[in-house]
Amino acid sequence: MTITHDALPNPTKKSLPILDAKLAAGSPLNGSPQTSGTGVLSDEELEAHVRAHEAAERERLGVLRERRQWVDTMLNPEVKRAEREKVTLLISGLTKAQDFLVEGALRGQGYKVENIGCPDTEGLQIGKEYGNRGQCNPTYFTVGNLVKHLITLRDEKGLSAEEIIKNYVFFTAGACGPCRFGMYVTEYRKALRDAGFEGFRVMLFQQQGGLSQASGDDVGIDLSPKFFIAIIKALVCGDVVNALTYRIRPYELETGATNRVAEQAKKMLYKSLLSGTNVFAALLSCRRLFDSIKVDKLRARPKVAIIGEFWAMTTEGDGNYHLQHFLESEGAECDIQLTTAWLLYNIWEVARDTRERELLRVADAAKSGLSDYQGEFDIAKRQAALKLAEWGLRVGFQAFALPPGLHGYHLPDMDAIAEVANDYYSNDLRGGEGHMEVGKLIANVVGKKAHMTLSVKPFGCMPSSGVSDGVQSLITTKYPGTIFCAVETSGDGATNFYSRVQMYLYKARIAAEQELEQAFRDTGVTREEVTAFLAANPEYTSPLHKSPHDAAGEAACLVHEVAPLIRLTRTERLVKAAKQAGSGTVAALRTVPGLARRAAERAADPEFREALACDLAILRDLVRGKAAEHYGPLVRRLAGKAYFENNAEVAHLIEPIAAE
């Protein structure tokens, strides 16, 4: 770039500081040798001119000081074995039930643990005060929440900053990725430094999850499969309690009954996780508690599926203006997203990446660790292990869900979601919820899963804004009648947020009422008849009863379920049920020849045989006790990814990061 002297201010005018600075600093402009002699400034001359002006201005304004570049010195924080008894792990970041239960599970593993609670507006303000500018809302909330807690320890409990740094550690999520999640850890450290806690340890599983960490002699936090299993148990228990609570509460007859029961259930599960007693027995005991809640399922409640950015849609506090509570206070039923579904998404991501990269000409060490899985069979083995992990998670979830009475809960089919979303949002785009947000909206509309879909996008969130504001507009056009509401959480605009939700909720409420009326018309029964039937058949009024899915709303589903039974006697109903079961069996038997033929075809398929060989290899490893050795790194990666959005490949964090 060049600029002529004529374009610059007149150097003889003293009122122009730019030239005073230039002259004072001995600018290259001050004399002919510094110019090209053609009256035109070179880029270097112009740069020098600007620098001289900046220096002069700094001097004039009294801000001339040495610039210090901050280097993160806590890239590899450690907790030594000797510290284990003294160090307290601080945790936070998921739902209230899960944070509470993870605390119990880790205490049960012998750690000192403290749940620092759900981030609130005070945390947001502290996050903004100490954080870098331009971050997304969850960053401010979560970073601020930690700093707030440490300030409380210092100013209210009288601990010195040194004691806090020595005796507390924060465990949190970390990742590399296209959104700001990858920078959380640096944000934590920057804010902690500025708040007077420089050197405070923020532990990321992704960085600390190497095998040596898990088995070394001087490791204070043993990231063994036992450790992760304890966390996953707590997460799934939390999911089950949350799903039951949100399913029952909108229909409770006594306000507060569900919350009371949920608290008791959480305490029972906490005790079991802490003491290491049978968690299934504890879950079974919760069933009696939930079953005691009196409900009226004939209320037409608009079902609202909450989707969006993971943290914003999951948190239950100021971070989303207590969205779930607000929706229920307005008469809605919340269809929340479970952490187990997020785990499945993580498994799906790894499986897809492995599949997509399988045929790269050179093994790719940068992303999915294929360098560890060279050779076709090894990659196939990895795929089989991922399938097994998915299957295990689905079965495991149902094993946790059924004892307390969470019947008929279907975890999303990740392949189906990916397929329906792919035309609008590439499956390869990551960050936030990726294509899941788009897929879920389509599934909700097409499958009549909810009356309304509400997408929560945090202020400043790049991926979520692109999806909610951009792609979802196309989906709502393609699927007319969709009630889709995208809301942004900035932390200080609750009134706007609530009024926007109310506008859409009004439509959803009408839709729920119309759907129920339509159910009465379609089935030819009246409300009075259904009410009388329910009074005579209490099994249908249990809070744990789940009607087959025929409509979005629970009330309409119940009408569809009981209407055919209303004019039958109990004996006729039993006969009908038996006939249905019988016809189901006959239909199944009729398919046997076809099944046998397909099974034979499949058995001859080389791909299937190879997959089977992999499955058998895995089973053999399991039987021989070699599973931990062979699959430990993968399990750890998945488990870490699940709870902490783990990616082992965060090599960039090993380099010092300047953040000022």
Q: Which positions touch ligand SF4 (CB under 6 A)?
A: 136, 138, 179-181, 309, 311, 431-432, 458, 461-464
**495 phi and psi angles, rounded to 5 deg:** -65, -45
> What is the CB neighbour count within 10 angstroms for residue 349?
19
Indicate the residue among 220 and 432 with the shorter CB distance to ligand SF4. Answer: 432
Residue for token pair 């506008």: 503
Per DSSP bridges, beta strands 88-91 and 168-172 are parallel
Please give the single-letter amino acid code of residue 188: Y
- In Å, how far are 42, 58, 64 from 55, measured between CA atoms? 20, 5, 7
Give the nearest distance from C-beta 467 to ligand SF4 in angstroms.
10
Indicate the residue among 25 and 421 with the shorter CB distance to ligand SF4. Answer: 421
Give the torsion sign (CA, 186, 187, 191, 192). Answer: negative
Indicate the residue among 109 and 139 with the shorter CB distance to ligand SF4. Answer: 139
Give the nearest distance from C-beta 179 to ligand SF4 in angstroms.
3
Residues 6+ apart with CB under 8 A from 478: none
Give the nearest distance from C-beta 336 to ligand SF4 in angstroms.
17
Give the nearest distance from C-beta 66 to ligand SF4 in angstroms.
34
Indicate the residue among 181 and 400 with the shorter CB distance to ligand SF4. Answer: 181
DSSP secondary structure string for all residues of 443-468: HHHHTT--SEEEEEEETT-HHHHIII
Indicate the residue among 302 and 460 with the shorter CB distance to ligand SF4. Answer: 460
DSSP secondary structure string for all residues of 493-562: -HHHHHHHHHHHHHHHHHHHHHHHHHHHHHHT--HHHHHHHHHH-GGGG-TT-----SSSSHHHHHHHHH
Residues 621 and 630 sit within 8 Å (Cβ to Cβ): yes
Give the nearest distance from C-beta 645 to ligand SF4 in angstroms.
9
Indicate the residue among 515 and 645 with the shorter CB distance to ligand SF4. Answer: 645
Give the nearest distance from C-beta 37 to ligand SF4 in angstroms.
52
Residues 368 and 435 sit within 8 Å (Cβ to Cβ): no
Measured distance CA(545)–CA(296) in Å, rounded: 12
Structure tokens at 516: 């129920």
Measured distance CA(569)–CA(575) in Å, rounded: 10
Residue of minimal Cβ distance to ligand SF4: 179
Buried b (16+ CB within 10 A) or exposed e, 248-266: bbbbbeeeebbeebbeebb
User: Which is nearest to 95 in space by CA: 230, 223, 234?
Assistant: 234
User: Which is nearest to 401 in space by CA: 620, 237, 190?
Assistant: 237
> What is the CB neighbour count within 10 angstroms for residue 220?
18
What count of Cα atoms within 13 Å lies in the side-chain half-sphere of residue 622? 8
Give the nearest distance from C-beta 138 to ligand SF4 in angstroms.
5
Give the nearest distance from C-beta 488 to ligand SF4 in angstroms.
11
Give the nearest distance from C-beta 236 to ligand SF4 in angstroms.
23
Helices (H) and strands (E) in the chain, counts: 27, 10
Give the nearest distance from C-beta 656 to ligand SF4 in angstroms.
23
Indicate the residue among 181 and 200 with the shorter CB distance to ligand SF4. Answer: 181
Indicate the residue among 461 and 516 with the shorter CB distance to ligand SF4. Answer: 461
Q: How far is CA 600 from the centre of its chain?
A: 42
Indicate the residue among 168 and 311 with the shorter CB distance to ligand SF4. Answer: 311
Residues 636 and 214 sit within 8 Å (Cβ to Cβ): yes
Give the nearest distance from C-beta 178 to ligand SF4 in angstroms.
8
Give the nearest distance from C-beta 312 to ligand SF4 in angstroms.
7
Indicate the residue among 125 and 285 with the shorter CB distance to ligand SF4. Answer: 125
Indicate the residue among 241 and 456 with the shorter CB distance to ligand SF4. Answer: 456
Residues 6+ apart with CB under 8 A from 471: 424, 425, 438
Indicate the residue among 320 and 444 with the shorter CB distance to ligand SF4. Answer: 320
